[in-house]
Amino acid sequence: MASADDALIAAEPSVAFVLPNAYIRVWTGPKSTMTIDDIRDNFALLDDWDDRYRYVIELGRTLAPMPEDEHSAANKVQGCASQVWLSKHVDGSRAVPVLNYLGDSDAHIVRGLIAILLTLYSGRTPQEIMTIDAPAVFEELGFREHLTPQRSNGLRSMVERIRRDAREALAAAS
């Protein structure tokens, strides 16, 4: 008899991330089931930051491709050392709108950070977005000591961009 996990694995492609002491499955696809708790658990399995950086890069590879026309000045996040684009898509088919995001960067580590941010924020209502403390999550994962000041500033810029989008959506709904 197949388990629910077997059905999920069959229904959605994934990538295996293999390290000497850990085997981690990174869910991919447009409706990824990976949660921030999965990322936390996977980080706990990894002993050193070289492995954690490799994992973050692998997360970046799971991002849905961003169409070329969305690599626009309007979607570019200011304040990042690398080039970063966040494209907001509002699902207004529900009683409360949901904000979905695509993200991309020209830097592998930054793409991974975007993947973590989208795991936190994408597919949520503006109210939910405003309650999420992404800096605390990144602190908990240990990034404070392991990101350059430029990357930390870029991360803050990405979070502020998403929160600004949520504030604008809330104002539009009022």
Model confidence at 150, pLDDT cuts 50, 70, 90, reads very high
Helices (H) and strands (E) in the chain, counts: 7, 4
Enter the DSSP assignment of 66: P
Q: Which domains does the chain have, with CATH numbers?
A: 4-173 (3.90.1010.10)
Span 138-150, average pLDDT = 94
Question: Residue 8: pLDDT above 60?
Answer: no
Question: Residue 151: pLDDT above 70?
Answer: yes
Q: What is the pLDDT of residues 113-138, one digit of tens each?
A: 999 999 999 999 999 999 999 999 99
Q: Which of 46, 56, 77, 80 is catalytic?
A: 80
109 carries an active-site annotation: no
Q: What is the pLDDT of residues 27-57, one digit of tens each?
A: 444 445 789 999 999 999 998 999 999 999 9
Residue 144, token pair as written in the block? 């404070």
